[in-house]
Structure 1
Amino acid sequence: MADTSVKIDDTTRDRLKALADGAGMSMKDYLAKVAVEKEHEQALDTATAAFRRVIAAPGILDRFDADFGGLPPAPAHESPRAA
């Protein structure tokens, strides 16, 4: 794949370079990673919105509970104590 350039201001370039350096990556690889992460975020946002629309429909949660037994009971946790 051919490389290209993108015009950004010096401050943004420096911030991206610092983030890439902190991740131990070249800026090219870091930006590719960020693009994939943003695509995943967008897909998750879309799925979340669809899920919220579905569960907002009247009776859906009741039907789910009837079909699958509802949520499991919350585990009883003991409070950790100092020695």
Structure 2
Amino acid sequence: MADTSVKIDDTTRDRLKALADGAGMSMKDYLAKLASEKEHERQLETATAAFRRAISEPGVMDAFDAEFGGLPPAGHHTQQAA
């Protein structure tokens, strides 16, 4: 993939460079990671919104509880690995 340039002000460049340095990454790699993380955040927001729409439909939560037994009772603790 070919590299390209993006014009940003010096302050923003310096901030991004400091963040990249702090992560032990080149700015190119840091920006690629940042873009990937932002895409993932957007996907999670989209999925969350779809889930909220689905569970707001009348009867959906009752059907879910009937199928899967609902939430565990208050004070219920699951076994955790040491």
Same fold (TM over 0.5): yes
2:10 match: 10
- TM alignment of 1:3-82, pairs within 5 A: 3-75=3-75
Unaligned runs of 5+ in 2: 78-82
1:4 positional shift: 0.4
CA RMSD of aligned residues (A): 1.3
Quick one: distance in 2 between partners of 1:46 and 1:38?
Answer: 12
The runs of 4+ residues in structure 1 deviating greater than 4 Å are none
Query: Percent same amino acid among aligned pairs?
Result: 82
> Deviation string for 1:15-45 (max 9, x for gaps)?
0000000000000000000010011001101
Unaligned runs of 5+ in 1: 78-83
The alignment of Structure 1 onto Structure 2 pairs a total of residues equal to 77
